[in-house]
Amino acid sequence: ETGVTQTPRHLVMGMTNKKSLKCEQHLGHNAMYWYKQSAKKPLELMFVYNFKEQTENNSVPSRFSPECPNSSHLFLHLHTLQPEDSALYLCASSQGRGDTDTQYFGPGTRLTVL
């Protein structure tokens, strides 16, 4: 248990569906992150939020829409996804400062797009 929870753990959706992934951290951290983990690729950083403000968007397609209503919660809204978007989506949180800043990851949501 890392203090970061993600729901749902598994999600299967069609290309026309709309769904949302939820992340919650109980660590009092200021920064939250969305990563995509695909087979044969490094972990890809998607979005970064610091103090609820988006500070990084790594050229992520608009079919992925993040939302950070407060410093403890992070959502990833999904719509009209493609099969190649199937992956493990990981949320992480950290204090957000310094060379030794440690990111704490949730268990991920395994997404399958049919």
Closest C-alpha to 22, from 55, 81, 68 = 68
Does position 105 bind other proteins by CB under 8 A? yes
Residue 53 Cβ vs other proteins, minimum distance, rounded to whole Å: 16
Nearer to other proteins, 53 or 99 (CB): 99
Q: State which of positions 37-76 bind other proteins (CB under 8 A).
A: 40-43, 45
Q: Minimum Å distance from CB 106 to other proteins?
A: 5
Instruction: Report the alpha-carbon distance of residue 49 to residue 104 in Å, rounded.
Output: 14
Q: What is the 3-state secondary structure (H, E, C) of 78-95?
A: EECCCHHHCEEEEEEEEC
- Interface residue list for other proteins (CB under 8 A): 2, 4, 40-43, 45, 90, 92, 99-108
